[in-house]
C-alpha cells in the first residue's frame, strides 16, 4: 500500500465549508482507506491505499465530500514520497527559521500549469516576495509585515486561478510529509 496525502482546498476557513476532521476521517475509512491521520483543521489527510491512480483517488474523495457534506471541494492528492522529494528541491531561502518571513507552498491542481498560474497572478514583487517553481508546486516566501505590499497575496485568493490552487505553510508541509 502507498501512503498518500489529500489536500482539501478551502475548508474550515472563516466559518465556511465546515467539515469536522473526525467526520472526514470516518468518511475516508468508509472509502476503504487505511492508516488515516488528519493534521490541523484545514483539510490535510494522510492515508494508505492500494490504488495508484491519484485522479481516481481525488475523484473518490471529491464525490464523498459532495455526497456527505454537500460541498464542492477541490482535492489534491500527492504521494507522501513525492512531497518529500519536492521538499528536497526547495530553494535555500524557503522554510528557514526566520520568523519575519512567511513561507508557503502553492500546489497547482491539475491541469493548471505554472504558465497559466503565472499569467493570471502576475510577476511577484522581488523586494517583498520570493518565488521558485518546481514541478507542480511554487515555493513562495514573503515578509510578514509587508504581506499587503506583495503582488501575490490578494491574487492567490481572488484571481481566476484561486480555485485551482491550494496553499500550505512550510511547517504544515514538513509535518505531513513525515507523518
Range scoring the smallest mean pLDDT among 31-35, 107-111, 155-159: 155-159
Whether the predicted pLDDT of 25 surpasses 90: yes
Domain 2-82 maps to which CATH number in 3.40.50.720, 3.30.70.1280, 1.10.240.10, 3.40.50.170? 3.30.70.1280
pLDDT category at 5 given cuts 50, 70, 90 is very high
Question: Model pTM?
Answer: 0.94
**Domain at 89-178: CATH architecture:** 2-Layer Sandwich (3.30)
- The CATH 3.30.70.1260 portion of the chain extends over 89-178
Beta-carbon-side half-sphere exposure of residue 123 (alpha carbons within 13 Å) = 3
With the C-alpha atoms ordered 146, 150, 154, 156, is the resulting torsion angle positive or negative? Answer: negative
| 67, three cell numbers | 455526497
- The CATH 3.30.70.1280 portion of the chain extends over 2-82
CA gap 4, 79 in Å, rounded? 4
Label residue 110 left, alpha or beta by phi (over 0 means left) and psi (-120 to 50 means alpha): beta
Amino acid at each position: 500500500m502507498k501512503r498518500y496525502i489529500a489536500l482539501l482546498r478551502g475548508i474550515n476557513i472563516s466559518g465556511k465549508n465546515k467539515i469536522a476532521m473526525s467526520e472526514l476521517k470516518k468518511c475516508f475509512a468508509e472509502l476503504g482507506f487505511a492508516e488515516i491521520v488528519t493534521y490541523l483543521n484545514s483539510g490535510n489527510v494522510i492515508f494508505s491505499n492500494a490504488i495508484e491512480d491519484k485522479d481516481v483517488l481525488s475523484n473518490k474523495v471529491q464525490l464523498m465530500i459532495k455526497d456527505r457534506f454537500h460541498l464542492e471541494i477541490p482535492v489534491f492528492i500527492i504521494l507522501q514520497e513525492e512531497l518529500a522529494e519536492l521538499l528536497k528541491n526547495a530553494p535555500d531561502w524557503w522554510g528557514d527559521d526566520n520568523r519575519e518571513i512567511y513561507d508557503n507552498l502553492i500546489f497547482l491542481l491539475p491541469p493548471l500549469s505554472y504558465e497559466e498560474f503565472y499569467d493570471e497572478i502576475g510577476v511577484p514583487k522581488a523586494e517583498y516576495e520570493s518565488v521558485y517553481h518546481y514541478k507542480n508546486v511554487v515555493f513562495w516566501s514573503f515578509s510578514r509585515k509587508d504581506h499587503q505590499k506583495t503582488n501575490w497575496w490578494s491574487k492567490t485568493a481572488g484571481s481566476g486561478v484561486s480555485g485551482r490552487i491550494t496553499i500550505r505553510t512550510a511547517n504544515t508541509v514538513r509535518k505531513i510529509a513525515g507523518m
